[in-house]
Structure 1
Amino acid sequence: MERTQVETDVVVIGGGPAGSTAATLLARKGRSVVMLEKDSHPRFHIGESLLPRNLDILEQLGVLDEVCTIGVHKPGAEFVSDRTGRSQAFPFARALNRDRTFAWQVKRSEFDEILFRNAARCGVTAFENARAAEVVLGAPGEATIVTARTADGVLEIRARYLLDASGRDTFMAARSDAKVANKYNNTAAVYGHFKQVRRLGENKKGYISIHLTEDGWFWLIPLQNETVSVGFVGNQSAWKQREGSAADLFMARIARSPTVADRMRDAELVSEVTATANYSYRANRGYGEGYLMIGDAFGFVDPMFSTGVLMAMTAGTLGAETADAWLDDPKRGQVLARRTTRELGRAMDRIGWLIYRINDPVLRSMFFSPSNLFLMRDGIVNMLAGNLRLNLRSLVPVLAFKAAYRLLSALHRHGAGPAMPEAVPCTAAPAMPRASAYSKATDQAR
């Protein structure tokens, strides 16, 4: 078996949004970078809904125009309640920060390939079908050695710094026993692509739809060519009666949701169905001597508010700054690594605060009848647009919303305060949509 040795400044494990972003920015700084992608592009991936703040990074990378050609214009998000049938739109134009008032919904196979090829054009040595298998961390002043397996043999990379952007493989976290499942949000997901899904009205064209059920939620994301990405994320109770394949489970969950089933009466499944378990997690230590975890390799929070790709690309930019600093001054690099990990963790906590409470009837009632007192509604829209770095202007509305929630919750517990319409139970659901000949399912839950 052929063995190839390569020396570089930085090795990036993973060629998704986090890895490609970091690799591109480092190469532009004049650093030598090797990026390892275990698959070959294009490859299927979930997480197809971007946020307005993504556009800043795409422009920085020089791919904004190219991404626009593959995307569906996304002016906001709509939330729909199975309990009451109510819906509420949150247009990004109502955010506190209005310099970016829309985003794009994209097929990740196309989006990720654009980022990966752009990194190669910028000077990154980018390998596909190269799976990182082993790592030997170097002592201070010594190289870290990453061994990858390729179709041609073994690739040995000696690097001064390692960025782990391996996604849900969590390459470094798994090897350092640092991965911790989120006990507050122990969920799993099942998803696929459909045709003939009933679209929203013209005034909500391009919106992502989030349908809230009793034990989870659905996403419906419009893509090009009349395709809609549909997925269900459920907590433990949602999977207790699991029988049959992932496709059987998915169709049963659709049938149980009156609002989703109504939109999918004539829907036709045109992809495989994929299931993923142990959805939310975080590393309890995201960096070490000569390495940093970024993107999903560090942590992943329930994707209800479409923050996954933004968090990954933000981590990529911070990871590039950290690696670049470390190459010149390891002590300063460690300071930036600690700061990066802390900042990413806090962003996950901010969006997690809403996610963990989304099934609460008080918060749902506030969500579906948003008040703009103290700019609370605009502050929430600001978060939904991806503005997760709080400043004084955005902090006050968020604190006001949390205070109102706590007050209303206390009143609700004592049978006082305004009515909570979201406490109304669900109604029965209509029949399941039909599956096409393409409905062969692959259950990848693990």
Structure 2
Amino acid sequence: MLSDLMQTSHADQCCDVLVIGGGPAGATAATLLAEKGHQVTLLEKARHPRFHIGESLLPANLPLFDKLGVRAEVAGIGLEKWGAEFVSPWHEHSQSFEFADAWDKSMPHAYQVRRAEFDEILIRNAGRKGANVIEGCRVRDLEFLPQDAGAIVRAEHDDGRTETWQCRFLIDASGRDTFLGNRFKAKHRNPKHNSSALYAHFKGALRHAGRKEGHITIFWFAHGWFWFIPLADGITSVGVVTWPYYMKTRTKPVKDFFLDFIPMCPALAQRLQGAELVSRVEATGNFSYTCDRTHGVNWLLLGDAYAFIDPVFSSGVMLAMQSAFAGAEAADTCLRQPDQATDALRAFDRAIKHGPQEFSWFIYRVTSPTMRDMFMYPRNVFRVKEALLSVLAGDIFGKTPIWRSVLAFKVIYYLAAVANLKHTIVAWRQRKRNIRYVEETEEIGC
């Protein structure tokens, strides 16, 4: 037991910072802290390359790649993504948006990437920059030391060996495992927006020509929405996000259930006509959650270890990496200037909550009839279209002055929702139905 280890005051290894998880958040934080001169150990349960969903990046990722020194490597594996397309069965046309039309014109594109390749670039970069990267090593337990002296972490290698580390500061970047969030019982479903997803890869899907080849396409349909993400090697990632109550109707294998969704969206079915399914169909249920805290005296949560809402705007990787930049600054201050730790952690708390809060307002309403109309018939009055594109590009952490126009967009939305009251009430009732379902399944322990 760790208590026994503590009594002997010994651990197998020591480090300044121990990072749990080697995805984009953990690898980024480990890189930055190693560059600042800290002794960093990163423990990753899997071995890279390993599959992960979430292939679509945002333009706001690119400055972060520059700071990490990996932009050329990412460009080498990616398909350029210049915009996004929205397709609605309630409208006779599709609508495309170009990132070059956003408020800040300096970030006109992003990339679509295979996450196995992308994540490996980031974790190898952490190793090159001085972090001690250990793969195939799952954290099993930990104990915080008295007087906020750090923690002792016990992990198990995939060959069965166990090893312990004593660290001064602990960073949880374990993604959906959210190791500390579960340990502290701080992780909670998000009843305001709880969805389930099925996804797979296809070969031979129909793509757009020219620069629009790399566009992500969002297809609305009666029970949620689909993503269509073209990758550089000819593979296309396709996923469906739907309400949990509809997933509850499944009476057949996951693969067949997923394939049954596709004919429900004729526009997507046309793009997949003749395409070949070339991967397993994966399922993720009730994936929207948040933790009720972001940090402690000598620990913090990054990226999905803190919260995950919905992948509709491809914000996951960008928010994870942004949280890592903020977290690395906070951890560095806590270690070097403990008298300023309280202010540093308070600033981190604001930073990590900012992104999910800003995206959530749009995500909670993206399937509403009013929001669909505003996406399908965009107007730039009060520069609201430019501000919306800035949000879609992830440009919400800098100094781009979008917020008055974002507020104007919200006011227009509420006015339009009142004007379209009948459909607004129908959408509201559907959301309430989903919230009741989530609450009921929580009560019975589902």
Q: CA deviation at 1:139?
A: 2.6
Match of 2:275 among 262, 267, 270: 267
Cα distance change on mapping 1:102 and 1:332 into 2, 3 Å: same
Do 2:55 and 2:115's aligned partners in 1 also have CA atoms closer than 8 Å? yes
Q: CA deviation at 1:236?
A: 2.2
Do 1:6 and 1:156's aligned partners in 2 also have CA atoms closer than 8 Å? yes
Cα deviation, 1:300-358, whole Å, max 9, x if unaligned, reads: 11010000000001111111111101102334233322322222222212111111111
> 1:280 matched to which residue of 2?
288
Residue 343, structure 1, aligned to residue 354, structure 2: no
> 1:242 matched to which residue of 2?
250
Cα deviation, 1:373-412, whole Å, max 9, x if unaligned, reads: 0011111001000112375720111111111111111122
Cα distance change on mapping 1:40 and 1:378 into 2, 3 Å: same
> 1:425 matched to which residue of 2?
none
Residue 148, structure 1, aligned to residue 141, structure 2: no
Q: CA deviation at 1:83?
A: 2.5
Corresponding letter in the other structure for 2:60: R
For residues 353-392 of structure 1, the aligned pairs below 5 Å read: 353-389=361-397
Residue 180, structure 1, aligned to residue 206, structure 2: no
> 1:29 matched to which residue of 2?
36
> 2:166 matched to which residue of 1?
158
Q: Distance in 1 between matches of 2:278 and 2:59?
A: 29
Going by fraction, where is helix more abundant, 1 or 2?
A: 2
Corresponding letter in the other structure for 1:257: C
Do 2:150 and 2:170's aligned partners in 1 also have CA atoms closer than 8 Å? no
For residues 180-219 of structure 1, the aligned pairs below 5 Å read: 180-202=188-210, 204-219=212-227
Cα deviation, 1:7-32, whole Å, max 9, x if unaligned, reads: 00000000000000000000000000
Which segments of 5 or more consecutive residues in structure 1 lack a partner in the other structure?
Answer: 417-421, 423-445
Do 2:326 and 2:351's aligned partners in 1 also have CA atoms closer than 8 Å? no
Q: Which ranges of 4 or more aligned residues in structure 1 deviate by more than 6 Å?
A: none
> 1:440 matched to which residue of 2?
none
Q: Distance in 2 between matches of 1:334 and 1:235?
A: 40
Residue 91, structure 1, aligned to residue 98, structure 2: yes
Percent identity between the two aligned chains: 43
| 3-state DSSP of counterpart to 1:48 | coil
Match of 2:122 among 106, 115, 118: 115
Cα distance change on mapping 1:33 and 1:415 into 2, 3 Å: closer
Cα distance change on mapping 1:211 and 1:324 into 2, 3 Å: same
Do 1:165 and 1:295's aligned partners in 2 also have CA atoms closer than 8 Å? yes
Q: Distance in 2 between matches of 1:315 and 1:53?
A: 13
Q: Distance in 2 between matches of 1:135 and 1:355?
A: 35
Corresponding letter in the other structure for 2:391: M
Q: CA deviation at 1:85?
A: 4.5
> 1:419 matched to which residue of 2?
none
> 1:80 matched to which residue of 2?
87
Corresponding letter in the other structure for 2:55: E
Q: CA deviation at 1:298?
A: 0.6
Do 1:83 and 1:214's aligned partners in 2 also have CA atoms closer than 8 Å? no
For residues 281-360 of structure 1, the aligned pairs below 5 Å read: 281-360=289-368
> 1:397 matched to which residue of 2?
405
Q: Distance in 2 between matches of 1:323 and 1:274?
A: 35
For residues 220-231 of structure 1, the aligned pairs below 5 Å read: 220-231=228-239
Question: TM-score scaled to structure 2, two decimals?
Answer: 0.90
Q: Distance in 2 between matches of 1:415 and 1:360?
A: 8
Corresponding letter in the other structure for 1:358: V
Q: Distance in 1 between matches of 2:314 and 2:422?
A: 35
Corresponding letter in the other structure for 1:75: W
Cα distance change on mapping 1:414 and 1:211 into 2, 3 Å: closer
> 2:25 matched to which residue of 1?
18
Q: Distance in 2 between matches of 1:71 and 1:271?
A: 20
Q: CA deviation at 1:107?
A: 0.2
| 3-state DSSP of counterpart to 1:46 | coil
Do 1:39 and 1:128's aligned partners in 2 also have CA atoms closer than 8 Å? yes
Cα distance change on mapping 1:42 and 1:85 into 2, 3 Å: farther
Do 1:85 and 1:259's aligned partners in 2 also have CA atoms closer than 8 Å? no
